[in-house]
Every structure is written in structure tokens, then in C-alpha cells.
Chain A
Amino acid sequence: MTARTGKPGTAGRNKAPASAKASTAQRPQRTLAEAAAEARALAEAEQMSPEGWGFVDTIDRRDFMRLTATGLLISFSVKPLKGMARPVWNPANLQRPSPDFNAFVHIAANDRVTVLVGKVEMGQGVMTSLPQMAAEELNVAIDKVDVVMGDTELCPFDMGTYGSLSTRTLGPVLRAAAAEGKAVLMQMASEKLGVPVAQLEVVDGVVRSTTDRSKRVSYGELTAGKRIERKVDGAAALEKVGDFSVMGISAPRRDAPEKVTGKAKYAGDMILKGALHARLLRPPAHGATLKSVDTSEAERQPGVRVVKVDEIVAVLHAHRDEADKALKLVKAEWNPSPSTLNDKNIFEHLEKAAPEGRAEQQAGDVAAGERAAATVVSTKYLKGYVAHSPMETHSAAVEIAPDGKVTVWAGTQTPFPLQTQVARALKVPTEKVRVIVPYVGGGFGGKSASAQAIEAARLAQAAGVPVRVIWDRSEEFFYDGFDPATVINIKSGLTAAKKIAFWDYEVIAAGNRGAEHFYDIPHHRTVVRGRWGGTQDGLHPFAVGPWRAPGANANCFARESHIDALAAKAVADPVQFRLDNFARDASGERMRRVLETAAKKFGWTSRPTPSRSGSMGLGVACGIDAGTYVAGIAEVRVNKATGEVKMERVVIAQDMGVVVNPVGALQQLEGCIVMGLGYTLTEELRFRNGEVLDKNYTSYTLPRFSWVPKIEAVFVENNELPPQGGGEPAIILVGAMVGNAIFDATGVRMTQLPLTNARVKAALA
């Protein structure tokens, strides 16, 4: 059903052309510091550009033209969301004011519909939900719709798959494009059948007269032998929610059959003839520099090749486990890292080193509010670095054909930026590089950067053979773009009437996502110091980047913990306290509806917090993320003797606008809860002087089966609103729900994530 592209081709498995080798040899030696400086300069340029939303018109369209030589082709563009005019992640520093088009819908003579988008499937289910939307608007069965994703040669430019944007921004225009396609086909059918459009209907891709059903013609018959191109002008009417026959109904996942049989291919599964696995020499610490290296013993091993390209020292072997063994034989001496930071002193460092902030949300006079307050609560909230840790480590395979064409199979969230990066690294024109993204084994933001693919490309060029790079788990922990450690300072207080008097909020290093509150507070200020990503010289000891709902997990933990503390000061029911204090506007109303839904589903009975039951607590939290409003209540068991915390039951109510694929949305929500338990309970990177001490799962613990609570979800109906994000919202609540539940059970406020057994035990002692 699904047109997947990108099986390793049969062409071009020979050595790279001599010219490629020569250019490698001539390239000036570049030190690690110079490479870092270049990366910094690129990233700085990105930060300064007012419009970084890029487009590169370098697609080799020959294959695409062949595919679409006849039929109806609708191209359409996606306008960036308000507030997202700049991409959140632009590693290649792509520049162009606005895209011409972002996706295609093609209707072929054989009645098949093809959706071509540059997004990638990494488990979030867009391979299913995007065709659902096209099928809905075109009135065809979903199994007539194919999808081609993540191929720089076939799909139009896309900045990347992140920010819960696929359904949110691509969805409406994809629907508009399909609706436009239907309008064009109806007009053609009207002319062909001699029936006015108003008297035509479409049933599964066949246009027929409503008065004379013998007058009928299929989409394919209309487009056969013709080539028609249209751009979406936005005039076509979309299907109304009440008329949906494909959207809003759970569709079978298209990736399911391949994934349960082991046939689904990931980048590391691309076995190219003659390919060698490469293992790269890595520094022991961030900031360590190479003093000397001796590869002679590795080179003596049968089948091993040692390849050095600029700063890369790699051992290559046809078998990955033999390459592992050879890498252990490479002897290297390193100058130590100058870093003196570790997972304990990092917070003090961040407070000192973070740039001055500015108020992103502000009203009234915070000082006056504080003077008027009857009670003041001031708290510092902390959260450590968290790894993405997708089960598939960064993997890539690269083959360079005799004609110089570079094909990259990579597990990446950003195929088009990667195409540009590879072209720059190899000093070849962008159109000579094709990036194909097979299934991605989890991304969560961590595969926005794809250094492994650039490494594989450089080694393939230097070695003259196809090269596979599959990072080891220790490399994954070392080179991850971590969710940054964060300090959040909140000072707030209550009036004598138990209303929130003022709110002074400072977030350091987590960025602004989720920092803004949605409460009715006369005097407030939200100051954001430092972002969650990009280059921030000296602020972090290693790379940081987008992690599922970047920054919002820390911001939501701090805000909702603090609101809970205020509720306790007011001796109030934490649900009612929130309802009483939500902003008096449409946003506050929407949040009220969501929290009331969660409370009803949970069976909430009014009671002040803390209840001090000692062993069982209830925790409430609310948040807004990716356009979705979400509220949750969790029941959490606390073992005072061991500090162990177990979420037993959680209820989530979520208003995400139109729900395209209910079961897909539910899967994402469940994933949010389980993954959220990681950053909440155990996940915190340990490091010292540039060395990442967590090298594998022996010391860094991901959520396990026994942690999983009973998860109950309600999607609050809001069909007036187009689909909003679903992959991230619920995760932001988990830390605050658990922290608030511990407080409810014990009266002790936890202020540092993760809430490890040791921390909880110590706090309760």
C-alpha cells in the first residue's frame, strides 16, 4: 500500500572517483577547534537571520518527473506558524525567505493518489495520518493513497520533522491541496459528463451524477494521458468535521506489517555491497584534544582499514563487531578537557553564566504586587540534563556512485538540511547529494542533528567504498544534544483573599516554551535567560538541543509545582484553586474546560492539599504545548522508607482541536506519560570535567514496564479548531503531577528533577 522509496540501488558500488579522493587530500587540515568555530559561526548566523525558514531549489526532479509524467499534480506551501517564523533548528543554516511549495499530491491514471512530503516517520504515525487527510478531502478510500516521505530527490523541501508540526501546519494545507484536487477533477468531470458540478458527487474516487448514476468517470480516467499542475490557492472548501468519513476514525497503521515481521528497514539496515562499518576514535571528554594516536596494531588486523580524514580517525571493517575490536587496539593520548563543570555545580554555573534575559510576558508592577501580598513563596527549581536515548542510535550508510552521486541513508529528522551539510562537507554541489530517510527508530528531537551521516559521507569519500556508521550507545550518550539543565526561580504570593497577587518568574537555559503562565495575576513578569538550543558559548559543557517539548517539561514542572504550593498556602483544593485563578479570557476558558474534564473523569472530590496520607498522593497539573491544552491528575504511591515513587493511575484530558487519528493520538499520549516518567524519576546525565559518566544503560535508566500506570485519556471535543500537536503536550505534565502528588502524600515539596529514590528519601527523612 505504501510506496516506500530508497532501497539501496544497484548502481554505483565502485570506488569513489579519483577526483573525490584528490579533493580530500587537498583539503587543509582542520583542527577540532576550527571545526567548532565554524559550527558556532554557522549557528550564530542562524540566530541573527530574521527569516531563517529556508528553501533550497536543488531537487533533481528527474525521478519525480517520471513518477508524475501524467496525472494531476497539486503543489502546496505551508506558512510557518505564528511565532515559528524562524525554524527551531537549522543546522545547515539554510536561507530563503519563504518556500514555494512544501508538498505534493498526485493523482495518477491508475486512480492511485500519492502524497509526497519531506517529513519522516519515526513512530509518531504521520505515515498514516497524512494519507488519511488526503483521502478525506478527495473522497477516496485510504488504501488508494500512497505516501513518499523523507527523500530529498522526490519530496519537496521540508525543514524537518519536529515541534508537532506535521499534523498542525502541514495537515491543513495538505487537506486544502487535496480539496483543490477534487475541485479540479469535479470541473473536468462536469465537462466530460455534461453535468453541472452542483449535480456531481464523488464516491471512492469516482465522480458521478446525482441524478443519473450511469454518468460516471473515475479520477484516473479524467487524468489519463494528461499532465495538469495546480497550486493551492486556498479557495477550495474543506470537508466539515461532521462529514468526515476517513479522518477522525482510527486507521490501521501503514508501518505495522513491516514492523512486526522485522522487515522494516532503518538506516543501519541498509546493507550496501562492499560497504564497510566505520568506528571512529572518540575523545574521553568534551574539550579533550588529541595529543598522539597510534593505529598500527589495528591496521595489522585482517580486513581492517584505518582511514584518517582531517580530525577523523576511523577503523573500517566489513563486520561491525570486528571493527569494534579493532577500535580497541587504537592507542591515543589526549590533552585533558579544560571543563570544570559537573552535574552538581552546573546549576550555580548556569545562573552566573546565562545571558541577561528579557521579560517575555509582563503586566502590572511585580514589586507593588509583592508589597500587597499577604503570603510570599520563593522557590528555586532545578532539572539536570536529559538524554534523548532513542533505541536506534544515530545510524547512516553512504554510497558514492562512479558519477559522483552521493546517496545517504540516514536516521535523521532533517533530511534536507542534512543534504546541504553533506554537500558542504564533501565539497560537491547539493544536487549531487540525495538523502533518503528510511524508518527512524525514535527521534524525540535528538535526530535533528545528524553528525553520523556526515561522518559516513566523509569516510566513504576518503575510503572509496560505501561506509556505514552506527553509533555505539556510548557515542549516543556523548554526542547527544541533551535537554539542557535548567534553573527556574519563582517568587509569588497570595493576597489576603487567597488570590495570586504577583508572579515573578525567571527561567535559565530552558527557553521560553511553556514559560508563559495562563493564570489571572495582576502583577507578573516572565523572564527568559538563554535558549534551549543553539550555540551558547561556555554555557553548557556539551551540545544541547530540542528534546520532546523542549523546555516545556522544566517550565511546566516549576510553574505547576509553584501553583500547587500557593494552593497549599491558601489551604485550597488544588483543582479548584486553579479553576479560580485561570486567566479570564478565551485561553483560561479553554483550560477550565480541560481541567474540569480531567477532574470529572478522575472522580475528583474536593480536598485541600496536602492530604498527608503518608503513602498515596494525588497530583494535578495543567499546561499548553504545541497548540494543545492539557490537564492531568495522577495517583502516586510513595514509599517513605525507600524513597520509591510509583504512579499508579493517571487521567489526562486534552484539547487538541480536530483529532485526525484517535488511536494514533492515544498512542502518542501514552508515550508521553511513559517517557515523561523517565525525566521525572531517574533520567539525569552524570558528567564531570567534560566526561560523560553515563555510557550505557547500566547507569542511565529508562522507564520500564513495571513503572507504567493505568492511563486514561479524554480528548475534549473542539472541532472548530484545526488539528494541534499530539506528540508532546502530555509529557510536560508528568514531572509536576508526580511532584505535587508527593507533596500531597507527605507535605514535602520536591524542587529538583528527577525525583530519584535517593532524593525523595532524603527529603522525607
Chain B
Amino acid sequence: MPSISFTLNGKPATLDTAPDRRLLWVLRDDLGLTGSKFGCGIGSCGACTVMVDGKATRSCTTALSAVAGKKVTTIEGLADGEKLAPVQEAFLDHLGFQCGYCTSGMIVTGHALLEQNPKPTREQIVQGMERNYCRCGAHPRIVDAIEAASKTPTVGGGR
């Protein structure tokens, strides 16, 4: 079985497993990174969102082979040591969650959104988050949080 290498949260990772495995389950089952969640399995809900080369990507529909040689960042890799990423800080400040299950995907999507567009309008945030589902109804606070994060000077400095 050929091995697949990529950069995971800033560190090299090499796996000997089938290349058509789903990235989400490789992260969760093989690498023990359970922050990315399973929600729908078809890329609809966004709970599994990770960043691949800085772009928000649904890991439940992404084949492992598709990330070979690329940079994968999960919720576990957003903070710089103890220092949370601005979007994480803002989710704390604005309580952008309830049950917390969609939260990893929301934060990663929001983080990627700000990397692409550091000063989005509120409408652009809503559109950028539109494909992520939250059942508890934390939406207003999630938008508030991302908007607040966009106003912190350090945004865009993540991996």
C-alpha cells in the first residue's frame, strides 16, 4: 500500500492506508483528532470542515489521496500553542455555540473565510457561512463572532 504524506497542523504526517479513505475518518480513527465531526457524510452540513491549503474543505467527502503533499489544518491546529486564533477567541466572547457539535466546522469555515477576505461585510459572512448547519440556532452569535474577529488586528495571521 503506498504511503500518503501531507502536512497536518504544521507537522508532517505519513499514512499507510487506502488512498480512497475519507479524510474525516482518517483524522478521527487513525490520527485520533476527533475535533472534526461527522454530521451528514455528503458534504452538506459542514461539521467536518477542515482547511486544505487554506481553503475550507469538507473532509467527509475528501479522499485522503486528494490531500497528498498539501497542508491540512483542523480545529486542533488553529491555536498557536495556548494562544487561540481570533475566531476562536471571538466564539468564546460571543458564545457562538450551544451544543458545540457544529462549532469546529463553523470556526474553521470562519477562519478560512477571513483568510480569503479579511474584512468581510456582515452579508458576506452570512453568505460565507450559509452552507454550514447549526441545529441549536447559534447563528446570530456565530455571525457576531466572525465579524468581531475580522476587526481584531491579528486576523489572517493563522497558518
Binding site for B on A (CB under 8 A): 122-125, 253, 255-266, 268-269, 271, 277, 318-322, 324, 389-393, 439-444, 470, 472-473, 663, 667, 670-675, 696-698, 702-706, 708, 711
Q: Besides A256-B92, A391-B134, A697-B45, 5 other CB < 8 A contacts? A: A442-B101, A444-B135, A672-B137, A704-B139, A711-B140
10 CB contacts below 8 A, A to B, read A255-B100, A318-B29, A391-B101, A391-B134, A439-B99, A443-B99, A663-B95, A670-B138, A670-B140, A697-B40
- State in angstroms the CA–CA spacing of A157 and B84 once bound together: 38
Among A122, A263, A319, point to the contact of B99 (Cβ < 8 A): A122
B13 within 8 A of A: no
Question: Does A320 lie within 8 Å of B25, measured CB to CB?
Answer: yes
B52 within 8 A of A: no
Q: Which 10 A-B pairs have the closest CB atoms?
A: A262-B35, A441-B101, A123-B99, A674-B137, A671-B137, A123-B98, A262-B75, A259-B100, A269-B34, A697-B44
Question: Does A271 lie within 8 Å of B101, measured CB to CB?
Answer: no
Residues of chain A contacted by B135 (CB below 8 angstroms): 389-391, 442, 444, 675, 702
Tell me, rounded to whole Å, the shortest Cβ–Cβ distance linking A487 to chain B: 27
Tell me, rounded to whole Å, the shortest Cβ–Cβ distance linking B66 to chain A: 14
Given A124-B98, A319-B30, A667-B138, the answer on whether A257 and B40 have CB atoms closer than 8 Å is no
Tell me, rounded to whole Å, the shortest Cβ–Cβ distance linking A158 to chain B: 19
Q: Which of B36, B88, B142 has the most CB of A within 10 A?
A: B88
B72 within 8 A of A: no
Tell me, rounded to whole Å, the shortest Cβ–Cβ distance linking A149 to chain B: 14
Residues of chain A contacted by B21 (CB below 8 angstroms): 319, 321-322
Given A319-B25, A322-B21, A390-B101, the answer on whether A670 and B35 have CB atoms closer than 8 Å is no
In B47-68, which residues have CB < 8 Å from any A CB? 47
Binding site secondary structure of chain B: loop
Among B30, B41, B76, point to the contact of A262 (Cβ < 8 A): B76
Residues of chain B contacted by A255 (CB below 8 angstroms): 100
- State in angstroms the CA–CA spacing of A685 and B141 once bound together: 29
Tell me, rounded to whole Å, the shortest Cβ–Cβ distance linking B113 to chain A: 12
In B27-43, which residues have CB < 8 Å from any A CB? 28-30, 32-42
B126 within 8 A of A: yes
Residues of chain B contacted by A675 (CB below 8 angstroms): 135-137
Question: Does A257 lie within 8 Å of B92, measured CB to CB?
Answer: yes
Question: Does A705 lie within 8 Å of B79, measured CB to CB?
Answer: no
Question: Does A320 lie within 8 Å of B29, measured CB to CB?
Answer: yes
Given A268-B38, A269-B34, the answer on whether A441 and B100 have CB atoms closer than 8 Å is yes
Tell me, rounded to whole Å, the shortest Cβ–Cβ distance linking B85 to chain A: 9
Q: Which of B21, B76, B98, B104 has the most CB of A within 10 A?
A: B98
Residues of chain A contacted by B104 (CB below 8 angstroms): 262
Among B17, B42, B84, B133, point to the contact of A698 (Cβ < 8 A): B42
Question: Does A472 lie within 8 Å of B41, measured CB to CB?
Answer: yes
Residues of chain B contacted by A263 (CB below 8 angstroms): 35, 76
Residues of chain B contacted by A266 (CB below 8 angstroms): 37, 101
Question: Does B99 lie within 8 Å of A321, measured CB to CB?
Answer: no
B143 within 8 A of A: yes
Tell me, rounded to whole Å, the shortest Cβ–Cβ distance linking B50 to chain A: 11
Tell me, rounded to whole Å, the shortest Cβ–Cβ distance linking B69 to chain A: 21
Residue in B closest to A471 when the chains form the complex, CB atoms:
B38
Tell me, rounded to whole Å, the shortest Cβ–Cβ distance linking B45 to chain A: 6
B74 within 8 A of A: yes
Among B22, B45, B91, point to the contact of A391 (Cβ < 8 A): B45
Question: Does A439 lie within 8 Å of B38, measured CB to CB?
Answer: no
Question: Does B133 lie within 8 Å of A123, measured CB to CB?
Answer: no
Binding site for A on B (CB under 8 A): 17-18, 21-22, 24-26, 28-30, 32-42, 44-45, 47, 74-76, 78-79, 84, 88, 91-92, 95, 97-104, 107, 126-127, 129-130, 132-143
Residues of chain B contacted by A667 (CB below 8 angstroms): 95, 98, 138, 141
Tell me, rounded to whole Å, the shortest Cβ–Cβ distance linking B78 to chain A: 8
- State in angstroms the CA–CA spacing of A258 and B91 once bound together: 12
Residues of chain B contacted by A389 (CB below 8 angstroms): 135
Residue in B closest to A441 when the chains form the complex, CB atoms:
B101
- State in angstroms the CA–CA spacing of A386 and B136 once bound together: 15
Residue in B closest to A473 when the chains form the complex, CB atoms:
B40
Residue in B closest to A269 when the chains form the complex, CB atoms:
B34
- State in angstroms the CA–CA spacing of A711 and B144 once bound together: 13
- State in angstroms the CA–CA spacing of A442 and B39 once bound together: 12
Question: Does A260 lie within 8 Å of B38, measured CB to CB?
Answer: no
Question: Does A442 lie within 8 Å of B76, measured CB to CB?
Answer: no
Question: Does B79 lie within 8 Å of A320, measured CB to CB?
Answer: no
Tell me, rounded to whole Å, the shortest Cβ–Cβ distance linking B35 to chain A: 2
Question: Does B137 lie within 8 Å of A670, measured CB to CB?
Answer: yes
Residue in B closest to A391 when the chains form the complex, CB atoms:
B101
Given A125-B98, A271-B29, the answer on whether A442 and B136 have CB atoms closer than 8 Å is yes
Question: Does A671 lie within 8 Å of B29, measured CB to CB?
Answer: no
Given A253-B95, A257-B92, A261-B84, the answer on whether A321 and B25 have CB atoms closer than 8 Å is yes
Question: Does A440 lie within 8 Å of B133, measured CB to CB?
Answer: no
- State in angstroms the CA–CA spacing of A515 and B104 once bound together: 39
- State in angstroms the CA–CA spacing of A263 and B76 once bound together: 8
Q: Which of A256, A673, A675 has the most CB of B within 10 A?
A: A256
Residues of chain B contacted by A698 (CB below 8 angstroms): 42, 44
Residue in A closest to B145 when the chains form the complex, CB atoms:
A260
Among A258, A319, A443, point to the contact of B29 (Cβ < 8 A): A319
Given A321-B21, A441-B100, the answer on whether A473 and B39 have CB atoms closer than 8 Å is yes
Question: Does B97 lie within 8 Å of A259, measured CB to CB?
Answer: yes
Tell me, rounded to whole Å, the shortest Cβ–Cβ distance linking B67 to chain A: 15
Residue in B closest to A277 when the chains form the complex, CB atoms:
B29
Question: Does B97 lie within 8 Å of A261, measured CB to CB?
Answer: no
Question: Does B35 lie within 8 Å of A392, measured CB to CB?
Answer: no
Residues of chain B contacted by A262 (CB below 8 angstroms): 33-36, 74-76, 104
Residues of chain B contacted by A319 (CB below 8 angstroms): 17, 21, 25-26, 29-30
Question: Does A670 lie within 8 Å of B141, measured CB to CB?
Answer: yes
Given A675-B135, A703-B137, the answer on whether A391 and B25 have CB atoms closer than 8 Å is no
Residues of chain A contacted by B88 (CB below 8 angstroms): 260-261
Residues of chain A contacted by B41 (CB below 8 angstroms): 324, 472-473, 696
Among B78, B100, B107, B134, point to the contact of A439 (Cβ < 8 A): B100
Residues of chain B contacted by A257 (CB below 8 angstroms): 92
Tell me, rounded to whole Å, the shortest Cβ–Cβ distance linking A143 to chain B: 16
Residues of chain B contacted by A696 (CB below 8 angstroms): 40-42, 44
- State in angstroms the CA–CA spacing of A349 and B36 once bound together: 43
